[in-house]
Structure 1
Amino acid sequence: MAAAPSRRIRQWLPYTAAATAGLVVIAGAFVFVGQRDGDTERPRADCATKLEVTSSTEKVALLVELAKQYNSSDRSLEGGGCAQVHVSGLNSGAATEALAAGWTGTGLPVPQVWLPTSSLWTGQLRLLDQAAGRAPQTPDHRYPSIANSPLVIAMPKPKGELVRQRGLLGWGEILGLSGRQGWAGFGKPEWGRFTFGKDNPNLSTSGLAATIATYYAAVQRSSDLTRADLADPAVTQFVRRIEANVSHYSDDSVDLLRDLAEADLAGGGASTDDMSAIVMQEELVHLYNEGALSPRRDGEERGRRPNVPLVAVHPKEGTFNLDHPFVVLPTADERQRVAADDFFDFLTEDPQQRSFARLGFRDHKRGAPAELLASVGPEPTGGLTYFDPPDPAVVEAMLDSWSTLRKKANILIALDTSGSMEAAVGNRTRFQVASAAAAEGLALLNAEDRVGLWSFSSETSQRPNSPYREEVRLGDFDQKKITSRIAGLHVEGSTALYATVRAAHKQLTERYDPERINAVVVLTDGKNEYSRDNDLARLLTDVALDPDRPVKVFCIAFDRDSDFATLDKIAKASSGKAFDATDPATIDEAFVKLVSSF
């Protein structure tokens, strides 16, 4: 059993390594690196104790500001002197990997305090330490919280209020049983299908928590989930039924919310997206409703509030809480432990707790301020019921099970083979870099997915009658065959982007499978250079999402010559997503994020 955790974490490595780059502050439009040295309003000469803190990214901007306040205060430590606190940001999963590997390769100071999103990560780190035969860095099963945010089912207000009118409903009744009948089961057939979005649990804390909550709802308990439960056919059927209604997975629900806000404000509140709900932490519902995730003009701290806000729906079985633990690591010496205790006391004092509340967090005792409930909607009578975190080994086994239970996909890959792909990227060509990244990305797909491959450029001597060609027919996933075919492709011609996307989307629409995620994946290093089909407006109409037969387009813009703005328009028209790899060094990261959608 000791080897299992290391196998699990090795499988996570591509996901968490990619997420390391995504230090995006949720409430702002900038990328956060870390607190600058000396970034304090009033440094004190007697502060000999330095305390390094690593925080999860959704709260890191606030922690930086609070650290500045702490550093400029007149607080003194027990035994004399004071402390200077320095905060850096790192995704919780990536921090788990880094701590297990001795904190190498992060470029960040070695922390004495770790503030992940959830105690789930402390359990996974404990498994890693046990597998390596070393003393656990996180031996305690309970850590105090600095803030909390329960998992909720977020829905546009009209839909959420209609669901609430039915009384208390469970996870399966909201996310599973309604899928076949759609909104007709709620008296609104004109609303069409019922599908929802969730984060990939290998990449996201909220996605992992949503998966755990589904399993707890399946066993109808709020604690003591076991490996035997995971193997129960009734449990797997319950989880499979819910996963079947996923519209597509995401590497970050913030991106889903940003797209939803943009569509809401552009369309007066009407969205063409096929998702009826998103499973995510309550904090994000508040930020969305306050306009923090809406498009902003220069100089604005926040955008406009959406025309149609979201409401938080609470399933009757209970929910999972993201507890934002305060973890003091073994790297802390005696004085740093004293400083950590004082910094924790500071963070849990009323003024600082009000700062967390303004971002949509509950307090360190799980209390919800009135302003939060006014924003996201009321709790059930009697308050929320919370699931206990499962044993870390059960979480590991759950993720292994999820890979077979998640919704499967039909994926048609369109790979640019135009002449510009011969351009050099270091000591390789663009095509070689893209091919290697595609091969690594394919390795992360599910064996039960169905995958096809097209090449495209323009008419060439090897392809005289069409700008695109089917290289591998859409069918059972054969990674070796696809990888081999990519390696043998010939590069020449210009870029028939619009014609290829149109034809690929049409083929998947004709072969639409309602039991699968249906998606076109386009990898290109350029822009449309095909005069026979140069009508972007018509393409956007042709690929516009049909909620009854959703075929989504996902694009990777590879190298600086790519027309990312146009690819983004194409993806958004279909409710897909464009990934920016215009710096070729980021193409592996883009592929990992892409694959997390399936």
Structure 2
Amino acid sequence: MARGRHRSLQVSRRSAADRVGASGATRRKRAIAPWVVVAIVLATVVSGTTFGYLWVTGGCSGSSVQLSIAASPDQAPVVQSLADKWQKDAPEVDGRCAQIAVRAVQSAEVASSLTPNWKEDSGEPRVDVWMPDSQVWIERTGARPDVAQMVSGEPSLIATSPVVMTLPRPMAEALGWPDKTLSWAELAQGRVAGTTWAKYQHSVWGPIKMGIGDPRASFPALGTLLSVADADGDNSVTETELGNALLLARASTVEAVTSDAFFANMKKVTNTEAGLAGSGPFPATEAQVAAYDNAKPKVPLVAINPDEGTVYAEYQYLVLKADWVDSVRKKIAQQFLSYLQGEEAQRAYGQAGFRDPQNSTQYAVGLDTDLGMGSQSTSEARQLPDIKSVDQTVGFWTALQRKANVLAVIDSSGSMDEAAPDGQGKRIQVVQQACLRADALFNPDTHVGSWRFSTKLDGDKDYQEMVPIGPVGGNLPDGTSRRKALDATIYNDLVPEGSTGLYDTMLAAYKFMQAHWLGDNRLNMVVMMTDGKNEDPGGISQEDLIKQLKATADPDKPVQVVIIGYGPDADLNELKTITQAVGGNAYPAKTGADIEKVFLATLIGGQS
């Protein structure tokens, strides 16, 4: 999945402009006492503000100028080492003494923090050159109008590393590796189904666990998510294929945001069996696995090219087009780029387990083939989907991670027994299927409850509780899984009967959610699905409903109200009048897919 691979392999010889992280003091170079040099180095290392700080030795007599590089953490040590060597001979550019500061920072963090308004006194590190682990971060950043110009230069590809599935060797062998190619989707299905290691004669390891990481923060996580979501490999992710992302989201149990965090946790393992019981498949680059294994850890990991195909991390070099990147810094950046593209630097990257820009392992060392590393085949390399699909998939993932507090209120009046607008069965059947699919969207920690409504379902009440509100991943008092209870009542209890007691039900639902409001940055909401308008002459009027809704609303406890008007009989103007009284909205739906879209967009935050 290396987007624009052929284009990115063309080495850019043009200088560009970037953004910098630590300001370099202007000073003339003179003889420095050894103890001063040591003090400078120690102070810099201890401070941790940059990965390293390069000072100029004898030979350059001009004032200093510093180039600040933000590099992904996995390659930062290599970049630092190469910067040390490059600067060893005191390079001079336009009469200035060149210095380089290398800062290890996640690519996603740089992508979100870049701004054209950076000032030296802002307290934020300056970035002149950005070295992310994938061009996708550059493209996503370029979609922001305020920084598009800053990242519009042509990046140069420095190195690559395949994104692999990594897991402890005993686990991989138990699953059939190396004779069997492992699949993320297959493992996720097993995890969701509750498969344990007992199936593979290792019951002591407990339930199968797996992790994905956060695709908003980690390229290995993002690349894995996209390769699984884009199941047909056509470089786009359809709405149907988003279900594959749902599968991964629900299967992920190993809590680590990035592969760096995963390896940090694995390095702490002192007991092999305990390490195996707490571990499982996780996405990482081949270079990261090599670095981990070469340190001789307690639990060695293997690198597996998954059945979905291999995505490549592509380490780019981009000079930002920013006001603070003056002509001298551009020249320093260009000279250092030329050095990085030379054989000495390529061998240094290879020494650290990286492949060259052509995905070749010609310089790579330390790739243990017995642990699955060093495959020369590039036929399985996959292209990244288009940026629209990337954003859509990440947005979907974001929605799946969001915790909410939701009361679903479903119309079961007699009219729901009529034919669906698109002719696909009865209205109630379409709504049932849409509800079942929506149920799968919920994070296990999300609180969900369900009501049905028509008229006089519970004495004079037009509504009736089907499942009490609580964690969807938890159980009811009788031990029944709440998710299974939700699905069962949707199938069995939504029996069309009576008229539409919309007003009384909406007021009761809103008051209920105010009384059961939850903090913790949750989205508290009432989602009502109806195919008609109020048909309860004995109930409150629309005027009274709106008046009471406004009186009940608490600005410190916001409850979002969304009404989905399904079919031609739903009065959208009436529904909007109701929801807008408390800051919500109403949306039309002609199909079950429309219902799902509104629900998902609400979770993401796209509807208001």
TM band (smaller chain) = 0.5 to 0.7
Partner amino acid, structure 1, of 2:181: L
Equivalences for 1:144-543 in 2 at 5 Å?
Answer: 144-162=156-174, 163-177=176-190, 180=193, 181-183=195-197, 191-216=205-230, 218=231, 220-221=232-233, 224-225=235-236, 229-232=237-240, 235-263=241-269, 265=270, 267-268=271-272, 270-271=274-275, 273-291=277-295, 305-331=296-322, 332-368=325-361, 369-374=364-369, 376-379=371-374, 382-383=377-378, 385-405=380-400, 448-450=443-445, 475-476=470-471
Per-residue deviation, residues 237-261 of structure 1 (Å, max 9, x unmatched): 3332333321144223333333333
Q: Distance in 1 between matches of 2:135 and 2:378?
A: 22
Q: Secondary structure at the match of 2:68?
A: strand
Shift in Å at residue 403 of structure 1? 2.9
Unaligned runs of 5+ in 1: 1-19, 21-28, 292-304, 411-445, 453-472, 478-505, 517-598
Partner amino acid, structure 2, of 1:246: S
Give the 3 Å change call, closer, same or farther, for CA 51–39 of structure 1 in structure 2.
Answer: same
Q: Secondary structure at the match of 1:150?
A: strand
Q: Distance in 2 between matches of 1:117 and 1:51?
A: 19
Partner amino acid, structure 1, of 2:107: S
Give the 3 Å change call, closer, same or farther, for CA 364–74 of structure 1 in structure 2.
Answer: farther
Q: Secondary structure at the match of 2:367?
A: helix
Q: Secondary structure at the match of 1:366?
A: coil
Shift in Å at residue 379 of structure 1? 4.9
Give the 3 Å change call, closer, same or farther, for CA 208–511 of structure 1 in structure 2.
Answer: farther
Q: Distance in 2 between matches of 1:403 and 1:240?
A: 11
Shift in Å at residue 402 of structure 1? 1.4
Q: Distance in 2 between matches of 1:270 and 1:123?
A: 41
Structure 1 residue aligned with 2:540: none
Structure 1 residue aligned with 2:106: 91
Shift in Å at residue 278 of structure 1? 1.4
Q: Secondary structure at the match of 2:238?
A: helix
Shift in Å at residue 32 of structure 1? 2.9
Q: Distance in 2 between matches of 1:87 and 1:380?
A: 31
Q: Secondary structure at the match of 1:214?
A: helix
Contact 2:205/2:277 (8 A) holds in 1? no
Q: Secondary structure at the match of 2:302?
A: strand
Shift in Å at residue 41 of structure 1? 4.4
Per-residue deviation, residues 143-189 of structure 1 (Å, max 9, x unmatched): 32222222111111122234324433433234435653444665656
Instruction: Give the TM-score, by structure 2 length.
Output: 0.53
Shift in Å at residue 325 of structure 1? 0.5
Shift in Å at residue 370 of structure 1? 4.2
Contact 1:43/1:72 (8 A) holds in 2? no
Q: Secondary structure at the match of 1:315?
A: coil
Q: Distance in 2 between matches of 1:210 and 1:30?
A: 36
Contact 1:149/1:362 (8 A) holds in 2? yes
Give the 3 Å change call, closer, same or farther, for CA 254–99 of structure 1 in structure 2.
Answer: closer
Give the 3 Å change call, closer, same or farther, for CA 36–236 of structure 1 in structure 2.
Answer: closer
Q: Distance in 1 between matches of 2:63 and 2:370?
A: 41
Q: Distance in 2 between matches of 1:152 and 1:380?
A: 11
Structure 1 residue aligned with 2:151: 138
Higher Cα Rg, which structure? 2
Instruction: Give the TM-score, by structure 1 length.
Output: 0.54
Contact 1:98/1:106 (8 A) holds in 2? no
Unaligned runs of 5+ in 2: 1-20, 22-44, 406-440, 448-467, 485-608
Task: Give the one of 42, 45, 52 matched to 2:68.
Answer: 52
- Aligned-residue sequence identity (percent) comes to 21
Partner amino acid, structure 2, of 1:224: N
Give the 3 Å change call, closer, same or farther, for CA 512–118 of structure 1 in structure 2.
Answer: farther
Contact 2:286/2:353 (8 A) holds in 1? yes
Partner amino acid, structure 2, of 1:87: V
Q: Distance in 2 between matches of 1:377 and 1:135?
A: 39
Q: Distance in 2 between matches of 1:150 and 1:201?
A: 16
Give the 3 Å change call, closer, same or farther, for CA 511–287 of structure 1 in structure 2.
Answer: farther
Partner amino acid, structure 2, of 1:125: T
Q: Distance in 1 between matches of 2:480 and 2:262?
A: 23
Task: Give the one of 128, 135, 141 matched to 1:125.
Answer: 141
Partner amino acid, structure 2, of 1:93: A
Q: Secondary structure at the match of 1:57?
A: coil
Give the 3 Å change call, closer, same or farther, for CA 185–447 of structure 1 in structure 2.
Answer: closer
Contact 1:287/1:360 (8 A) holds in 2? yes
Give the 3 Å change call, closer, same or farther, for CA 114–106 of structure 1 in structure 2.
Answer: farther
Give the 3 Å change call, closer, same or farther, for CA 447–195 of structure 1 in structure 2.
Answer: closer
Q: Distance in 1 between matches of 2:355 and 2:482?
A: 39
Q: Secondary structure at the match of 2:103?
A: strand
Shift in Å at residue 514 of structure 1? 11
Give the 3 Å change call, closer, same or farther, for CA 40–515 of structure 1 in structure 2.
Answer: farther
Give the 3 Å change call, closer, same or farther, for CA 241–449 of structure 1 in structure 2.
Answer: closer
Q: Which moved more, 1:67-76 or 1:341-350?
A: 67-76
Partner amino acid, structure 1, of 2:264: R
Q: Secondary structure at the match of 1:146?
A: strand
Q: Which moved more, 1:29-38 or 1:349-358?
A: 29-38
Contact 1:92/1:121 (8 A) holds in 2? yes
Shift in Å at residue 36 of structure 1? 6.6
Give the 3 Å change call, closer, same or farther, for CA 178–109 of structure 1 in structure 2.
Answer: closer
Give the 3 Å change call, closer, same or farther, for CA 324–448 of structure 1 in structure 2.
Answer: same
Give the 3 Å change call, closer, same or farther, for CA 36–74 of structure 1 in structure 2.
Answer: closer
Contact 1:43/1:71 (8 A) holds in 2? no
Q: Distance in 1 between matches of 2:381 and 2:477?
A: 42
Q: Distance in 2 between matches of 1:311 and 1:514?
A: 38
Q: Distance in 1 between matches of 2:239 and 2:82?
A: 45
Partner amino acid, structure 2, of 1:306: P
Q: Distance in 1 between matches of 2:216 and 2:184?
A: 21
Equivalences for 1:52-71 in 2 at 5 Å?
Answer: 52-71=68-87
